[in-house]
Homo-oligomer: A and B are copies of this chain.
Amino acid sequence: MSAQPTPLAIVGVGKIARDQHIPTIAASDAFTLAATVTRHNTLPDVPNYGSIAELVAGQPKVRAIAICTPPRGRIALIRDAVAHGLDILLEKPPAATVTEAEAIVAAIAGSDSVLHVTWHSREAAAVEPARAWLQDRRIARVTVSWREDVRVWHPGQEWIWEPGIGVFDPGINALSILTRILPHPLSLARATLAFPANKAAPIAADLVLDDGTDAAIAVGFDFDQRGPQTWDIAIQTDDGVLTLTAGGSAMAVDGVTQAVPDEPEYARLYARFAELIATRQSDTDLQPFRLVADAYLLGVRREVAAFDWNG
C-alpha cells in the first residue's frame, strides 16, 4: 500500500455507492473520496461534476473512478475514463449486454488504464479458503441454493424486474463465487427459467453446469423464498464435504466450522483494487456474466403466477 492515498471519484451515487463504496473509501488508507460524478444525488462537502471530462478538468489529481451507475451505457464512461488515463473499478454487473461487456474489456486492452471488473461476493471471507481447499480435490457434486424473498431484500424496487435482471441479480453473486472456487472452467449445460405472468425477468432459475468432468453441478435460484433465506453452496469431493454458507462468509468441512479471516467484502474489494493499481494489472473476468447470458439464451421458459409485492 502506498503512503499516499489515491484520490478517487465515484460515478453514480445510488444505493450501492451509499451503502458500501462511500463508507469503505472513508475507512480506507489506500483511497480518498475526491469527487462525485452524478446528475442527481450529490454529497455534502464533496465536489460534484456532470461528466468525466468536467471531473478531470476540475480535479486533475483524481487518478481513479468507481463506476456505480446502472449497467446500461457504461461503455461511454469507460471510453472517457480511458481517454483521460483513469483507473477504473466497475461495480457488478459489468454491463447490460454481452456486447457492451466485451466492448468494455476491449477498450482497456492496449490502454494505460487499469480495469477491475468486480464481483463483491468473491471477496466474502470464506471464498479464498474454499478455493484453496478445493484445488487438489476431485469434485463429485456441487449444489448451489440461493433462495431469498425479493420482497424483503428489494422492497418495491421495480428495476429488479427489468429484462435481464430478476433472480439473476443475486444469482450472479453465486456464479461469481462458483467460477472462482472450482478448479475447472464452467459452461452451461441447460437451464429452466420461471417468469411471473406479469414480469419481464425470471423469479426463479435452475441451471445445470458442466466443468468438463463427471461432476454434477446443480444451481437453484429463487426470489420467492419464504422462511429461511439461503445463500449456500455444498461441494462433495473425494475427500470431504465443503459447505459455504451465508453468501460465502462462513465455511465448514464435514460439518466442522472453519476459521476464516474477518474482513468486510468491500474492504477486501478496495484493497484488491489498490493492489491492481500498484502492479498496473487489470482483472477483467466476465465468466459470471456470460453464464447468466447463456442461461437466458438456452433456458427453457415457463410461466408462473403473477408477482405481487404484497403477495
Chain A interface residues toward B at CB < 8 A: 75, 96-100, 102-103, 163-164, 185-188, 190, 195, 200, 286-287, 290-294, 296-301, 303
Q: Find the B residue at minimum CB distance from A187.
A: B99
Out of B164, B185, B186, B298, name the residue touching A298 (CB < 8 Å).
B164
Which of A186, A190, A195, A296 lies at the interface centre, i.e. has the most chain B CB atoms within 10 A of its CB?
A: A296
Residues of B within 8 A of A290 (CB): 97-99, 102
Asked if B195 contacts A99 (CB within 8 A), the reply is no
Residues of B within 8 A of A75 (CB): 187
Knowing A293-B293, A303-B303 are in contact, say whether A298-B96 is a contact too (CB < 8 A).
yes
Knowing A300-B200, A301-B200, A303-B303 are in contact, say whether A99-B294 is a contact too (CB < 8 A).
yes
Out of B297, B301, B303, name the residue touching A98 (CB < 8 Å).
B297
Residues of B within 8 A of A98 (CB): 98, 290, 293-294, 297
Per the bound structure, the CA–CA distance linking A188 and B163 in Å amounts to 12
Residues of B within 8 A of A190 (CB): 163
Residues of B within 8 A of A96 (CB): 298
Shortest CB-to-CB span from A283 to chain B, Å, is 16
- Number of copies of this chain that the complex holds: 2
Per the bound structure, the CA–CA distance linking A42 and B252 in Å amounts to 54
Asked if B163 contacts A97 (CB within 8 A), the reply is no
Shortest CB-to-CB span from A19 to chain B, Å, is 26
A-B contacts, 10 listed (Cβ < 8 Å)? A97-B294, A98-B98, A98-B294, A99-B188, A99-B291, A99-B294, A102-B286, A163-B190, A163-B299, A200-B301
Knowing A301-B195, A301-B301 are in contact, say whether A99-B186 is a contact too (CB < 8 A).
yes
Per the bound structure, the CA–CA distance linking A200 and B192 in Å amounts to 10
Out of B185, B293, B294, name the residue touching A294 (CB < 8 Å).
B293
Knowing A99-B291, A290-B98, A291-B99 are in contact, say whether A297-B164 is a contact too (CB < 8 A).
yes
Told that A164-B298, A293-B294, A303-B303 touch, could you supply 8 new A-B pairs with CB distance under 8 A? A97-B290, A97-B294, A98-B294, A99-B188, A103-B185, A200-B300, A292-B297, A293-B296
Out of B103, B293, B298, name the residue touching A163 (CB < 8 Å).
B298
Knowing A99-B188, A99-B287, A186-B99 are in contact, say whether A297-B296 is a contact too (CB < 8 A).
yes
Out of B293, B300, B303, name the residue touching A297 (CB < 8 Å).
B293
Shortest CB-to-CB span from A145 to chain B, Å, is 22
Per the bound structure, the CA–CA distance linking A96 and B99 in Å amounts to 16
Asked if B200 contacts A163 (CB within 8 A), the reply is no
Residues of B within 8 A of A300 (CB): 163, 200
Residues of B within 8 A of A102 (CB): 286, 290
Asked if A297 contacts B187 (CB within 8 A), the reply is no
Per the bound structure, the CA–CA distance linking A298 and B98 in Å amounts to 10
Asked if B291 contacts A187 (CB within 8 A), the reply is no
